[in-house]
Amino acid sequence: MIRLSQVHGLRIYNDRARYVGNVRDIVLDDEEGKVVGLAFGRKGDTILSVPYDSVLAIGDIVLTRSKESEQAGEGEGSQAPGG
């Protein structure tokens, strides 16, 4: 089990070694009570997040599957709600 305090502030990189941002919050599905994304910023009223199902590993950094990998069929990404 991972606590928010353990991932808050971690740098997010995709599998193409591109920096995405720092974890600032989590995105929850309020109906199912599941984590659906890691929020790293805002753009206007929109929460910028990476879908949790695209997270490959969490350690010193958060490693995620890139959009290019998902489009190439290397994973099954989903869109996290923007809140």
pLDDT of residue 47: 92
Q: What class, spelled out in words, does domain 4-68 have in CATH?
A: mainly beta
> Given a cut of 70, is residue 56 above it in pLDDT?
yes
Q: How confident is the model at residue 81 (pLDDT cuts 50, 70, 90)?
A: very low
User: What does the DSSP assignment read for the chain?
Assistant: ---HHHHTT-EEEETTS-EEEE--EEEEETTTTEEEEEEEEEETTEEEEEEGGGEEEESSSEEE--HHHHHTTS----PPP--
Find the mean pLDDT for residues 39-56: 95
Q: Average pLDDT over the chain, rounded to whole?
A: 86
> Given a cut of 50, is residue 77 above it in pLDDT?
no
